[in-house]
């Protein structure tokens, strides 16, 4: 519990200290924001700061800080360190600058910002990359809430249809008609879930691994608990770099950069940027820390026995010794962990409200993912979105493609995990582009560019190494030590590339 307490305090202190420093680096002022100067009644609309914060938080939260933290808990207390340092020094920096650069450039979307600072060729790559990622987000965030709701009423398919219909409406209508009205309710449910589970953790005081705990010697009196599958899991997904992709939204996420322009078009003042962008990321980090702690107790210390129906436990144990038997991480998927913990710890009413918050998170990220994709495509085509007819030109083919992606994974028992893994890599790769964009901006403005350079180099290495090390990519073809060697080389290459560019840029600025 000491590591959890320190982690929470670190995130809060990080907001007030490092967040203030990051704001000072950018230097927001009183110039008119796009919501004021470009108001169109559809996407550019002034909204109260508290509502903009709520929407931003829900936009970026999704299931990332929940499901990602649950799966990341298999790496033990290292998850704490990544969430703390990643959130304060990488994720919140990424979100703040991507949002504020959008404000300064008339609400420009992420590919446009990348084009301004990294060139038109990179903009085109980002355009394709962003749309594909947003489509994946929308599809993932259709399936995950449907999996949870399907256990309460109706069927998984029925919920998929209902959620998809909602996505169409939220994507097409002005942002204040649906999103601006229902997000505060969803935000309350999600925040209630996080606060309630934190209260349970401090009230129950369950056994949790500390940062200094050595889980490699983890043992249990029950044979089935000695063989939870962690050895096989780590062989396929080594801590570096896989932890840094598994826990994405709770630490740093490129998806956030696609969402920040939505709220950049609704802010009345630049000076609310730290609350809206940096603050939302810190809040998401708190949600991730909460679920990482709950999950470490659930998996490592038998917490699943206290909240799961005994018949389900017996089903798991009975098939454990079979050749095709599942490990704990496979049997209790992330959506199931959410359902069992919320209902088991918070009883029926609290559990339903908590589950509602967890369900609301992906739904409210899925709708804005599709909305962002529509706006990015419209900007690339130069197509005004004030007319609903022109919105349909983009929305119809976009949703048809999304339906095909959904059909591809809906009946695949491992479909969610597969698309999540590649979503994680695509997500962090998008963050790499954004961090380098921010770095170029800071260099050109003569500001302390190291605030984004360090996380840019680190995340570049993480994404490149994953392709060569993880068995989900090319790790089964390449000896792992070669993969790590090339990963180390990517650090050197990126630093040398930046140094050459920096020297050239500085020389050009003097002339």
Q: What is the pLDDT of residues 190-211, one digit of tens each?
A: 787 788 888 888 988 888 888 8
Task: Name the nearest CA neighbour of 253 among 284, 295, 291.
Answer: 284
Task: Name the nearest CA neighbour of 163 among 428, 410, 420.
Answer: 410
Cα–Cα distance between 97 and 442 in angstroms, integer?
10
Cβ–Cβ < 8 Å for 57, 193: no
Give mean pLDDT, residues 305-333. Answer: 67
- Give ∠ CA 309-314-319 in degrees, rounded to 5: 135
Q: How far is CA 94 from CA 100, 119, 165, 459, in A?
A: 10, 19, 32, 12
Is residue 112 over pLDDT 80?
Answer: yes
Both structure tokens of 368: 């804005």
Query: Residue 221: its pLDDT value, please?
Result: 40
* Neighbour tally for 137: CB within 10 Å: 28
Give 61's pLDDT tier (boundaries 50, 70, 90): confident
Query: Residue 194: its pLDDT value, please?
Result: 82
- Give ∠ CA 254-259-264 in degrees, rounded to 5: 125
Residue matched to tokens 């998806």 = 255
Cβ–Cβ < 8 Å for 164, 369: no
Task: Give the least confident one: 201-210, 360-369, 380-389, 421-430.
Answer: 360-369
Give 329's pLDDT tier (boundaries 50, 70, 90): low
Cα–Cα distance between 455 and 90 in angstroms, integer?
6
Cα–Cα distance between 400 and 395 in angstroms, integer?
9
* Domains, the chain, with CATH or none: 2-213+223-308+327-410+418-510 (1.20.1740.10)
Query: Residue 371: its pLDDT value, please?
Result: 82
Q: What is the pTM of this model?
A: 0.85
Give mean pLDDT, residues 348-358. Answer: 67
Element (H, E) at 125: helix 120-149
The total number of residues shown for the chain amounts to: 511
Dmax of the chain from CA atoms? 76
- Please count the CA atoms within 13 angstroms of the CA of 160 that sit on its side-chain side: 16
Q: What is the pLDDT of residues 461-476, one digit of tens each?
A: 999 998 888 776 666 6
Query: Residue 362: its pLDDT value, please?
Result: 73
Both structure tokens of 126: 């980002």
Give mean pLDDT, residues 252-261. Answer: 88
Q: What is the pLDDT of residues 206-242, one digit of tens each?
A: 888 888 876 555 544 444 444 445 555 566 678 888 8
Cβ–Cβ < 8 Å for 102, 95: no
Cα–Cα distance between 438 and 442 in angstroms, integer?
6
Question: Rg (Cα) of the chain, in Å, rounded?
Answer: 22
Is residue 413 over pLDDT 60?
Answer: no
Task: Name the nearest CA neighbour of 275 among 36, 33, 48, 506.
Answer: 48
Q: Residue 414 burial by CB count (10 A; 0-12/13-18/19+): exposed, middle or buried?
A: exposed
Is residue 365 over pLDDT 50?
Answer: yes
Cβ–Cβ < 8 Å for 386, 40: yes
Q: What percent of the chain has pLDDT over 70?
A: 84
Cβ–Cβ < 8 Å for 98, 438: yes
Give 441's pLDDT tier (boundaries 50, 70, 90): very high
Query: Residue 437: its pLDDT value, please?
Result: 95
- Please count the CA atoms within 13 angstroms of the CA of 485 that sit on its side-chain side: 5
State the average pLDDT for the chain: 82
Residues in CB range of 180: below 8 A, 6 or more apart: 45, 47, 51, 55
Task: Name the nearest CA neighbour of 437 among 19, 128, 109.
Answer: 109
């Amino acid at each position: 519990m000491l590591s959890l307490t320190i982690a929470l305090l670190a995130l809060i202190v990080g907001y007030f200290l490092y967040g203030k420093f990051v704001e000072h680096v950018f230097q927001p002022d009183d110039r008119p924001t796009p919501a004021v100067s470009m108001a169109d009644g559809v996407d550019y609309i002034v909204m109260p700061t508290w509502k903009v914060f709520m929407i931003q938080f829900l936009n970026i939260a999704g299931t990332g800080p929940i499901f990602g933290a649950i799966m990341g808990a298999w790496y033990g207390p290292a998850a704490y360190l990544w969430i703390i340092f990643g959130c304060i020094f990488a994720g919140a920096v990424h979100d703040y600058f991507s949002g504020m650069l959008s404000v300064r450039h008339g609400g420009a979307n992420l590919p446009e910002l990348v084009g301004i600072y990294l060139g038109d060729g990179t903009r085109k790559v980002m355009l394709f990359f962003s749309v594909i990622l947003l489509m994946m987000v929308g599809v993932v965030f259709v399936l995950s809430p449907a999996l949870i709701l399907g256990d309460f009423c109706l069927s998984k398919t029925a919920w998929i249809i209902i959620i998809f219909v909602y996505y169409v409406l939220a994507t097409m209508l002005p942002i204040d008609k649906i999103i601006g009205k229902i997000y505060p309710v969803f935000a309350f449910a999600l925040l209630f879930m996080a606060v309630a589970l934190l209260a349970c953790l401090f009230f129950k005081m369950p056994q949790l691994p500390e940062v200094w705990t050595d889980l490699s010697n983890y043992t249990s009196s029950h044979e089935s608990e000695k063989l939870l599958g962690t050895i096989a899991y780590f062989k396929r997904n080594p801590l570096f770099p896989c932890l840094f992709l598994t826990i994405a939204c709770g630490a740093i996420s490129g998806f956030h950069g696609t969402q920040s322009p939505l709220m950049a078009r609704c802010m009345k003042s630049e000076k609310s940027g730290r609350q809206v962008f940096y603050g939302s990321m810190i809040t998401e980090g708190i949600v991730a820390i909460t679920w990482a702690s709950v999950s470490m107790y659930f998996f490592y210390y038998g917490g699943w026995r206290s909240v799961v129906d005994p018949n389900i436990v017996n089903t798991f144990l009975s098939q454990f010794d079979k050749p095709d038997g599942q490990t704990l991480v496979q049997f209790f998927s992330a959506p199931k962990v959410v359902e069992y913990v919320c209902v088991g710890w918070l009883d029926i009413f609290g559990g339903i409200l908590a589950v509602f918050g967890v369900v609301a998170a992906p739904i409210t990220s899925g709708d804005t993912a599709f909305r962002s994709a529509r706006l990015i495509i419209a900007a690339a085509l130069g197509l005004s979105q004030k007319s609903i007819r022109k919105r349909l030109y983009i929305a119809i083919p976009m949703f048809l493609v999304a339906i095909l992606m959904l059909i591809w994974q809906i009946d695949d028992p491992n479909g969610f995990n597969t698309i999540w893994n590649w979503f994680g890599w695509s997500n962090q790769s998008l963050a790499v582009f954004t961090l380098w964009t921010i770095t170029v901006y800071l260099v050109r403005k003569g500001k302390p560019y190291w605030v984004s350079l360090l996380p840019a180099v680190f995340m570049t290495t993480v994404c490149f190494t994953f392709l060569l090390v993880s068995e989900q990519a090319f790790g089964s073809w390449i000896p792992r030590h070669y993969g790590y060697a090339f990963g180390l080389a990517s650090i050197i290459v990126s630093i040398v590339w930046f140094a050459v560019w920096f020297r050239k840029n500085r020389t050009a600025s003097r002339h």
